[in-house]
Amino acid sequence: MLRFIAMRLVKAAIILIAIVTLNFFLIHAAPGDPAAVMAGEAGAADDIFLEQLREQFGLDKPLLTQLGLYLGGIIQLDLGFSYRQQMPVADLIFDRLPATLLLTMTAFVISLVLGTLAGVLASARVGKWSDTLISTVALLFYATPLYWAALMAVLIFSVQLNWLPGFGYETVGGNYEGLDRVIDIAKHLILPATTLGLFFMAVYMRMTRASMLEVSTLDFVKTARAKGLKPSIIQRRHVFRNALLPVVTLAGLQAGQLVGGAVLTETVFAWPGIGRLMFEALAQRDYNVLLGVFFVSAAMVLLFNLITDILYRVVDPRIRAS
């Protein structure tokens, strides 16, 4: 297991270096002076700052030396400086990261739990109206743009019904403390996390349903049935456990999508995470922040993949043995 984790960490490091290299070439491929690109919107920075950037990244030196300098900076967690916000990019991102982690993790848990439950339910009632209903709803969620679902949720639950706040991370000027603050944040979290989870709920539901149906035709399930086990026990112990495997794999693969979706959800709900930071950086063409968020979200995905890989090995004894 340790060897496996070590191998995966090496692989993750290689991918991260590849992403940094990609970022580096993107800065150089962009139209205009790389120093101006790094400084943000052309013309926004003064000459002294541009000169400083040229010096720091050796922009008059050969491309490979420049790449070395750039990589060296990233290894020391220096993601550059946001001229627009007058702050190091790394600080900007790490300030916002907890909010995004809270949002994506909650959305992930909601979608995984509700998605698999709905999938199991639908597979148990194949062809009946409840299966049709669940499958149709999943199909609809699958086709709905995240940001539109978010806007409609604000319109219905926040503007019309006034049940939940549709804006921000906590009540401005609320000054809640302790448990009250947790409840306040939780209230603000419900709409963004649910809308972010809708699409993934549909994905997991479809996967679970298909997987349950497939596993239930396998020989060992027939054996269990022939032994006279109760159908509910067969479903839970034999079918569900095995049907879960492809869902876990899929969940790992979907991590990147979740981070991407956070950009849209956080934009609509003014959620103060790195997705919202990315949206703000877009308007200002603050490329250092954009590339920094891209890098950190890739790192998040790699971490997430590692966790699901480990989970997979825990769930499936066959892989552990091999």
Partner 1 sequence: MTDFWKRYQRNRGAVIGLIILLAVVLVAVLAPVLFPQSPWKMVQRPFLPPFAMERFPLGTDTLGRNVLAGLAHGAQVSLLVGLISTLVSLVIGIPIGALAGYFGGWVDDALMRFTEFFQTVPNFALAIVLVAIFEPSVQSIVGAIAIVSWPPVARLVRGEVLSLRSREYVEAAILSGQTNATIIWRQILPNTLSPIIVLASLMVATAILLESSLSFLGLGDPNLMSWGYMIGAARTVIRQAWWLSFFPGLAIVLTVLALNLIGEGLNDALNPRLSRKGK
Binding site for partner 1 (CB under 8 A): 15, 18-19, 23, 26-27, 29-31, 37, 123, 126-127, 131, 139-140, 142-148, 151-152, 154-155, 159, 209-210, 213-214, 217, 253, 255-257, 259-261, 263-264, 267-268, 278-279, 282-283, 285, 287, 290-291, 293-294, 297-298, 300-302, 305
Read off the tokens for 232. Answer: 């509910």
Whether the Cβ atoms of residue 184 and residue 171 lie closer than 8 Å to each other = yes
Distances from the Cα of 42 to the Cαs of 97, 142, 215, 273, 288, in angstroms?
Answer: 28, 39, 58, 26, 13
Per the DSSP assignment, residues forming a β-bridge with 81 are 88
Asked if residue 83 lies in contact with residue 49, where contact means CB atoms within 8 angstroms, the answer is yes
Residue 168: helix, strand or coil by DSSP?
A: coil
In contact, 95 and 185? CB cutoff 8 Å: no
Nearer to partner 1, 156 or 181 (CB): 156
Q: How far is the CB of 223 from partner 1 (least distance, A)?
A: 20
Q: Where are the alpha helices (DSSP H) in the chain?
A: 2-29, 34-39, 47-56, 63-75, 89-124, 129-143, 146-153, 179-215, 219-226, 231-233, 241-253, 255-269, 274-284, 287-315, 317-321
Q: Tokens in use for 173?
A: 């000027």
Q: Quick one: 111 or 297, whose CB is closer to partner 1?
A: 297
Instruction: Give 74 or 154: the residue with its C-beta nearer to partner 1.
Output: 154
For residue 136, the minimal CB distance to partner 1 (Å) is: 9
Nearer to partner 1, 23 or 111 (CB): 23
CB 294 within 8 A of CB 23: yes
Number of Cβ atoms within 10 Å of the Cβ of 303: 11
Handedness of CA 147, 152, 158, 163 (dihedral sign): negative
For partner 1, the closer of residues 104 and 106 by Cβ is: 104
Phi, psi at 178, each rounded to 5°: 60, -135
Closer residue to partner 1, CB minimum distance, 11 or 236: 11
List the beta bridge partners of residue 87.
82
Closest contact distance (angstroms) between CB of 311 and partner 1 is 17
Question: Shortest distance, CB of residue 272 to partner 1, whole angstroms?
Answer: 17
Min separation Cβ 283 and partner 1, Å: 7
State in angstroms the smallest separation of the CB of 151 from partner 1: 5
Q: In whole angstroms, how close is the CB of 2 to partner 1 at the nearest point?
A: 23
Q: Select 143 or 172, whichever has its Cβ closest to partner 1.
A: 143
Task: Rank residues 19 and 193 by Cβ distance to partner 1 and give the closer one.
Answer: 19
Q: How many residues does the chain have?
A: 322
Residue 158 CB, shortest distance to partner 1, in Å, is 9
Nearest Cα residue to 34 out of 276, 297, 274, 291: 291
